[in-house]
Chain A
Amino acid sequence: MTHALTDGWVIARAYLLHWVRNPAAILSQLLYPIVMVLLFGYVFGSAMAVAGTDGDYREYLMPGMFGQTMAVGVTSTLITMTTQVSRGVTDRYRSMPVSQTGVVLGRALSDMVSSALELAVLIACGVAVGWRWHNGPTAALAAVGLLLLLRFSLIWVGIFAGLKLTPEAAGASWMLMLPLTMVANTFVSPAQMPGWLGFLAEWNPLSATVAACRRLFGNPGFAGESWAAEHALLLAVAWPVAITLVFLPLSARAYRRLSR
């Protein structure tokens, strides 16, 4: 147990070195959200009218982009995990006196650092296109905290799925993640969707985080009629905690089951 922290740090450091040494990968990872901001902010945004936003779509959009980027981040956890299993790295860890908790901590730490960096770039990008936070730095930091909390809970989903899937399936997980992040309040208000879809969108964990962020940043469009929309702050904490409580033990179990 004493080794968990030091082993975790050694592993996280190696992952972060990957990041630093692979400029093309960082660039595409950081460019993607920027392109999305430009695409939705200016191309689609010109045709978007979201109820209660007074026509300023970019103010509405940015918290959605932050949330989506955190949610889609699960694919990078997933892909790294499947690659490590298939390339025998996981086997080497398991045949060594390494703290297995440390291996997971290292993974989580490096994912959180890279996600935080991604979020910082996206916030800067938002400021550049005219998005602002209006309720002071404390509320803004609380919103950033909620976004990172969502990302943290998804690490366990990524690890669990990564232990179950092949690298090919992991690569295709994008196709599932993108629509999942759109059936939410990220780009449009669930109130504008057909009833059943709107219901799903209201209760999407991502919607809770995004609605809570809009409220904390003072951006328009957080108001809603439903219970989920009214209790967004509560749900933005409850959902990630629930996801962690389910998927952390599942990941540990899947890891143990590698020896079956």
Chain B
Amino acid sequence: MNSYSLVAEGLTKRFGDAAALDGFDLAVREGTVCGLLGPNGAGKTTAVRVMTTLLRADGGRATVAGFDVAAQPAQVRRVIGLASQEPAVDEILTGRENLVMWGRLYHLDARRARRRADELLEQFGLAEAADKRIKHYSGGMRRRLDLAATFIQAPRVLFLDEPTTGLDPRNRTEVWQAVRTMVADGCTVLLTTQYLDEADQLADQIAVLRGGRVIADDTPDRLKSSIGGDQLDLVLRDARDLPEACDVLAAFGPPAADPDTRRLTAPVTDRMHALGEVMRALAAKGIEVEDVALRRPTLDEVFLKVTA
């Protein structure tokens, strides 16, 4: 059984009248990835800032790799890496110069800083762009360089605050790949995100955050099955078929119908099986389908389920 690399107990933090953290509890096992899922303003960034020693909590306690963030901030800083929402890379410097500079600031000597920069550029797929200035990098490359910088000292715990916000799908996949590389090196990761599919892709554990506290905390599989797995969306040719189609879908999960858009949505557990069965049943009844899609539940649907 692994021990815990990250423990938060009853963290509270107020900004004026607003409670950013309101009894935040979390425990992440060593070498695993925890996805902290929540909408804007749920307290994700505040939680990360407290655990990375940037912000002092009003109450509660947190330990990172066994060090208390309030009492032993210097020790914590020696074992963590932090990538904020905005890549903190230097636009004027090249990718290599950025990594060497940050390496020197982690107190590697000049030769080791250069060697580590080369390793990381290779590892994060930036070797070809190493000597280009960051202002010529794409959004995804910037993020990857930022992640590489957090990885210089081989951190034991890595904090990634919305690592893919504002990226297009291709760049997102590249960043996910970079995160997997880091996890493969045995690092514990806390990743905040607004997207369930991102947490699902990367995390061993998903904690759902709302109003500054964790309202659900489980493995992605158990969390998904508790919220009914995937969602099946159907758009019918004719709104008059809706009631009959509802009956078909009801066999898989409670459907929701919207007559205006002729859309039906139902949670399904065995996605491909459900899709096949539904399409067959609708065809047998002569109901025409204009569009069909299988998708992950949105954050709204997760919250509805979790708080129900």
Contact = CB atoms under 8 A, between A and B. Distances in A.
A and B interact: yes
B92 A18 contact: yes
Give the interface size bracket for A toward B: 20 to 34
A138 interface: no
Interface string A20-54: 01100000000000000000000000000000000
A97 B104 CA distance: 11
Contacts of A7: 104-105, 107
A93 B106 CA distance: 10
A17 B92 contact: yes
Contacts of A87: 86, 88
Interface in B50-107: 52-56, 74, 77-78, 80, 82, 84-88, 90, 92-93, 97, 101-102, 104-107
B101 to A, nearest CB: 5
A154 B56 CA distance: 30
Contacts of B85: 88
B228 to A, nearest CB: 38
Interface in A207-260: 258-260
Given A96-B77, A97-B77, A260-B56, A91 B106 contact: no
Contact of B104 (A10, A18, A21, A89): A10
A92 B82 contact: yes
Nearest to B13: A260
A88 B90 CA distance: 11
Contacts of A14: 90, 93, 97, 101
Nearest to B15: A260
A171 to B, nearest CB: 18
Contacts of A13: 101
Interface residues of B, number: 28
A87 B86 CA distance: 6
A17 B97 contact: yes
Nearest to A84: B88
B20 to A, nearest CB: 12
B54 A94 contact: yes
A89 B101 contact: no
A3 interface: yes
A98 interface: yes
A15 B97 CA distance: 12
Contacts of B56: 259-260
Interface in A65-123: 87-89, 91-98
Given A91-B84, A97-B74, A259 B54 contact: yes
A95 B82 contact: yes
Given A87-B86, A88-B86, A88-B88, A94 B93 contact: no
A95 B52 contact: yes
Nearest to A256: B56
A95 B49 CA distance: 9
Interface string B110-144: 00000000000000000000000100000000000
B107 A92 contact: no
A18 B97 CA distance: 12
Contacts of A3: 107
A91 B107 CA distance: 18
A31 to B, nearest CB: 20
A96 B90 contact: no
A91 B54 contact: yes
A96 B106 contact: yes
B107 A97 contact: yes
A253 to B, nearest CB: 15
Contacts of B90: 14, 18, 89
B55 A259 contact: yes
A142 to B, nearest CB: 36
A1 to B, nearest CB: 12
A122 to B, nearest CB: 25
10 contacts: A6-B104, A10-B101, A10-B105, A14-B93, A87-B88, A88-B88, A91-B49, A92-B88, A94-B54, A95-B80
Task: Give me the 7 closest cross-chain CB pairs, A-B, nearest first.
Answer: A88-B84, A88-B88, A95-B82, A92-B88, A10-B104, A18-B92, A88-B86
Given A95-B52, A260-B56, 17 more contacts: A6-B104, A7-B105, A7-B107, A10-B101, A13-B101, A14-B93, A14-B101, A17-B93, A21-B133, A87-B88, A88-B85, A91-B84, A91-B88, A95-B80, A95-B82, A97-B106, A259-B56
Interface of A: 3, 6-7, 10-11, 13-14, 17-18, 21-22, 87-89, 91-98, 258-260
